Structure 1
Amino acid sequence: MQTSHCYIGLAQWNHSAWSDGPLAGNIPRHALGRYSRYFSTVEGNTTFYGLPETHTVQEWYQNTPDHFRFCFKLPKTITHELSLRHCEAELNEALQRLSALQEKLGLVCIQLPDSFSPDEMGTLERFLLGLPKELNYGIEVRHLGFYQKDDTERRFNALLMEQGINRIQFDTRALFNNPTPDAETQDALSAKPKVPLHVIATGQSPMVRFITARDWQGTLNYLDPWLNKISQWLQEGRTPFVFLHTPSNTHAPEVAEYFAEQLNKRIAGSALFNNWPIPQKDQSSLF
């Protein structure tokens, strides 16, 4: 039986704080290549604000290894401004642009605002039914009406299962339950959604977004249970995507490395992640 794999990545492939270690570099256009040596996927937030040029997408494809997968959000014009209505032209343009990634396009992510409520279930259903079937999708809802464990939520989950669309889970418990007064944590608290965590796989590629508190090592009690759930999904033949965040993402690479190591201890070779190179000791110091 072939082993399923878990894609592991971050919210970005470049960060000013990553000035030391294997992700460090002075040439921004080389950042994706450095990142993809170790990580197997990335969340693409840039497409939420605007579509990249076709030649840029082609460069992303060329600068990453065969196994790498991009997970990009649909533009906010579709999800937030038009609220999934009368957006056929915008959707077609976005999907056509992203399709230049070919097999490296992991999930197309539909992130809905907290103002999009279950009252608009009909609109949501029509939109999802109209999506091209050849691509993989994930959806993240933020209105609390989708988290009541009632007939509405069951109907929503059933719709996703019927269409093979993955319900994205954003686990923010570690952040909200361990607030600190520093600026980066306060910024994250104001920007991230505080919604209940309902763990479910509605498709073949469940996506988990996890954000730690500033002291990420002190909140592993929130992260470690995900190792069991991801292992279960792998044993079911699913292909999970896991994205690790910290309040400012300064230490997100360390969290991802920890998660990959722990997952491989449970199911050897399941985490698509290359460990950091071991620094070479200065031989002159030995004599």
Structure 2
Amino acid sequence: MWTHAPWQRRFLPHPLAPQERLRAYATWCNAVEGNTTFYAVPARDTVETWALQTDPEFRFVLKLPKSITHERRLGDVGAEVRTFLGAIEPLGPRAHALWIQLPAAFAPADVEVLAGFLRRLPPSYRYAVEVRHRAFFEDGRSARLLERALASVGAEWIPFDTTTLFQSPPTTDMERDAWTKKPRVARRTVALTDRPIVRYLGRDSTDETIEGWRGWVGRVAEWLREGRSPTVFIHTPDNADALLLARRFHDDVRARLPEVEPLPEPARAPAEPPTLF
């Protein structure tokens, strides 16, 4: 996400050398979703540059490759897992959690496969699972089945909250596209571990996005009071203002809990020079 085109020159200095782009992003936010690892395992030397650009406290939530989760459906993937873990090793403590996003076809009947897969993973990493099958959100027995499987290995359940997106018909092209691709499931606000992770998708309207996250502000403040360390990712269909919105969410939480540390002063894009015409 730190190379998201609409942010360049508007929020982030541009042009920047590849080995400086994440460093600039890390002045805006202290965590990032590693979505590109879903499509390809990064080269180890690329990951080394990520580590060099970030403090040890910076959080990467890295998605397992689709070859593991979607193509082989967690079966006979030992070699692929070892390759992935070898590639991300340079991140050290920055690898906050490994994100196992499962396809919508992954149903309650498949939970035992997931449980076996999680038991075979090395305990040196934390794991967080995102499911999209509606039964997990509509059937209490299915939800408890998954919770037990995750709790047995200390894994978290990542909620992807799209309720704000689907609360009214789309009004922009990007919202219409999101309506066709994003899961329509109930909001889930339960944490299983001391490191809950939330993915929130709002609207292209800033006001609607902020209104939709108000419940999350209270929940995150509650988790912090309990001694948990949550990570929250803020999205909109176009993500054009996601950096500003993420910082606004952080400010809203700090308004409830002033002891929460502020985010760093961001490295902004320089103002456009004046012209004669």
Normalised to the residue count of structure 1, the TM-score between the two structures is 0.88
Structure 1 residue 147: Cα displacement: 1.6
Identify the match of residue 51 of structure 1 among 41, 53, 57. 41
Change over 3 Å in CA distance of 1:39–1:167 after alignment to 2 = same
Gaps of 5+ in 1: 1-11, 282-287
The aligned residue for residue 227 of structure 1 is 217
> CA RMSD, aligned part only?
2.0
1:117 aligns with 2:102: no
Structure 1 residue 90: Cα displacement: 0.8
The amino acid of 2:59's aligned partner reads R
Identify the match of residue 15 of structure 1 among 4, 9, 22. 4
The amino acid of 1:27's aligned partner reads L
Structure 1 residue 234: Cα displacement: 0.9
Structure 1 residue 144: Cα displacement: 1.2
The aligned residue for residue 137 of structure 1 is 127
The aligned residue for residue 97 of structure 1 is 87
Structure 1 residue 95: Cα displacement: 1.6
Query: Are 2:28 and 2:247, in contact at CA under 8 Å, matched by a contact in 1?
Result: no
Output aligned runs, 1:128-207, within 5 Å: 128-207=118-197
Change over 3 Å in CA distance of 1:148–1:243 after alignment to 2 = same
Q: Secondary structure at the match of 2:164?
A: helix
Q: Secondary structure at the match of 2:152?
A: helix
Provide the C-alpha distance between the structure 2 equivalents of 1:269 and 1:56, rounded to a whole number of angstroms: 36
Output aligned runs, 1:1-12, within 5 Å: 12=1
Change over 3 Å in CA distance of 1:113–1:102 after alignment to 2 = same
The amino acid of 1:251's aligned partner reads D
1:27 aligns with 2:52: no
Q: Secondary structure at the match of 2:116?
A: helix
The amino acid of 1:255's aligned partner reads L
Normalised to the residue count of structure 2, the TM-score between the two structures is 0.91
Provide the C-alpha distance between the structure 2 equivalents of 1:279 and 1:131, rounded to a whole number of angstroms: 42
Structure 1 residue 276: Cα displacement: 4.1
With 185-194 and 81-90 compared, the bigger mean Cα shift is at 185-194
Q: Secondary structure at the match of 1:106?
A: strand
Change over 3 Å in CA distance of 1:255–1:78 after alignment to 2 = same
Identical amino acids, percent of aligned pairs: 33
Query: Are 1:41 and 1:70, in contact at CA under 8 Å, matched by a contact in 2?
Result: yes
Provide the C-alpha distance between the structure 1 equivalents of 2:87 and 2:4, rounded to a whole number of angstroms: 25
How many residues are aligned here?
A: 270
The aligned residue for residue 212 of structure 1 is 202
With 91-100 and 234-243 compared, the bigger mean Cα shift is at 91-100
Provide the C-alpha distance between the structure 2 equivalents of 1:28 and 1:194, rounded to a whole number of angstroms: 39
Structure 1 residue 120: Cα displacement: 1.2
Structure 1 residue 190: Cα displacement: 1.8
The amino acid of 1:243's aligned partner reads F
Structure 1 residue 22: Cα displacement: 4.1
The aligned residue for residue 5 of structure 1 is none
1:64 aligns with 2:41: no
The amino acid of 2:78's aligned partner reads E
Provide the C-alpha distance between the structure 1 equivalents of 2:212 and 2:73, rounded to a whole number of angstroms: 33
Provide the C-alpha distance between the structure 2 equivalents of 1:136 and 1:149, rounded to a whole number of angstroms: 27
The aligned residue for residue 8 of structure 1 is none
Query: Are 1:142 and 1:193, in contact at CA under 8 Å, matched by a contact in 2?
Result: yes
The amino acid of 2:8's aligned partner reads S
Q: Secondary structure at the match of 1:249?
A: coil
Query: Are 2:161 and 2:187, in contact at CA under 8 Å, matched by a contact in 1?
Result: yes
Change over 3 Å in CA distance of 1:180–1:121 after alignment to 2 = closer
